[in-house]
Amino acid sequence: MDPNILFKYALQVRDRSYSPYSGFRVGAALKVAGVEEPVTGTNVENASYGATICAERAAVLAAIARYGKVPFEAIAVVADAQPYVVPCAACLGVLAEFCPADFPIYCCNLEGIQKVLQLRDLLPNPFRLERP
Ligand code: THU
């Protein structure tokens, strides 16, 4: 899929961001293997700030609710940020649960895709539950 399509979906869903506390509106679009239309998510804040859900996690959870644990191919994330927005550490941990180290993350601002990173660039050593 053309990553610019992913960007457009992320930009569109960002309009539905519920972010009255931070004013920081974020949109994310996730490409699911074998599914044409990207699954989108936006940030939803809460008066109890810690209950806030980021756009990227909203997209991952929506994709799993709809399709189960299927391979994800890429994600685009957009906010009014300079030079671009990157997923927070909690979202990277959730992505690492389901995606390979070379999973592409399209980091965008309102003008478009500004940087393509791989999951390993942002989270080189993800936590894994491995008991001795
Ligand atoms: N946020 C996201 O949705 N994704 C990110 O990658 C960074 C942060 C949201 C959480 C909160 O609603 C607002 O942005 C400010 O932190």
- Residues serving a catalytic function are 56
Say whether pTM exceeds 0.85: yes
Closest CA to 54 of 64, 46, 65, 43: 43
Residues of the chain whose pLDDT is less than 50?
A: none
- To test the ligand 1 pocket, which listed residue (13, 18, 24, 86) has its Cβ within 8 A of the most ligand atoms? 24
41, 61 in Cβ contact below 8 A?
Answer: yes
- What local confidence, expressed as pLDDT, does residue 109 receive? 98
Domain 3-122 architecture: 3-Layer(aba) Sandwich (3.40)
Q: Which ligand 1 atom sits closest to the C-alpha of 25?
A: 14
- What local confidence, expressed as pLDDT, does residue 1 receive? 85
For the chain, the domains span 3-122
